Amino acid sequence: MKVDFNTDADHIGIPLNKYGLSGYSFMVFCAFLLGLGFVVSPSTFVTNSYRYSNPQLIFVIGLFFIIICGPVTVILFYRLFVMKYGLTINMDGIMNNATIASFGFINWKDITKINKEEGDYPISIVLHVNSPEEFIQSQPNIFKRRSAADNYKKYGSPAVINTYSLKCDYDELYSFLKDTLKTYKVDAK
């Protein structure tokens, strides 16, 4: 596992997978530019096809692309160029910034057990929490609450670490998290 030990603080940082993130960033940025083209000159994109012969429809589609892809592009570029770690582990808990819909910080005392979900790609690490409904409601916005609720339906817990965006060995990360949970659970007693 490529773990970056920060000597200035008592934490372990798992870096983001910049290679995969750059591909997503490029695709979303291209969709944003396409939307910009649709808005600036919709008549250029009119075809003889009945479905796409209306410049107003193309303009609206362009606005949709700009509204959705603009903020996502900014977030992805921020993650690509500014954020150093996708997952930060310390004695207080886990800070998950691996994806846009990540749950943020979770304290060790709130985690009851850790499972690995290998059914489909990506491999997910499921952190079971004491009160899932309360955890879902504590998410800062509707997008993250919806994501946490979907995780709860699919995995039985709202706190899931999607490992595809992290630069590490998944099995080693899973073992490390399980051992760390045992350590902090024993220390808390």
Tell whether 116 and 73 lie within a shared domain: no
11 in a domain, yes or no?
no
Tell whether 90 and 180 lie within a shared domain: yes
151 in a domain, yes or no?
yes
Query: Which range (7-11, 30-34, 84-88) has the least confidence?
Result: 7-11
pLDDT per residue as tens digits for the range 28-64: 999 999 999 999 999 888 877 666 678 898 899 999 9
Angle at CA 14, nearest 5°, toward 110 and 12? Answer: 65
d(CA 16, CA 181): 22
Q: Identify the domain containing residue 34 by its residue range.
A: 17-81
Tell whether 102 and 150 lie within a shared domain: yes
Tell whether 95 and 162 lie within a shared domain: yes
Tell whether 44 and 135 lie within a shared domain: no
Tell whether 94 and 161 lie within a shared domain: yes
Angle at CA 21, nearest 5°, toward 67 and 38? Answer: 30
pLDDT score, position 117: 83
d(CA 23, CA 122): 16
9 in a domain, yes or no?
no
10 in a domain, yes or no?
no
The CATH number given to whatever domain includes residue 149 is: 2.30.29
4 in a domain, yes or no?
no
Q: How many domains does the chain contain in total?
A: 2
pLDDT per residue as tens digits for the range 122-165: 678 999 999 999 989 988 888 889 989 998 998 899 998 888 78
Tell whether 122 and 177 lie within a shared domain: yes
Q: What order of strands is seen across the sheet that includes strand 4-6?
A: 4-6, 11-15, 85-90, 93-96, 104-107
Phi, psi of 169 (to 5 degrees): -85, 125
Chain Cα centroid distance, residue 131: 22
Integer angstrom CA distances of residue 47 from 39, 44, 63: 16, 9, 19
40 in a domain, yes or no?
yes
* Token pair of 186 as six digits: 């024993």
Tell whether 183 and 93 lie within a shared domain: yes
**18 near 80, Cβ under 8 Å?**
yes
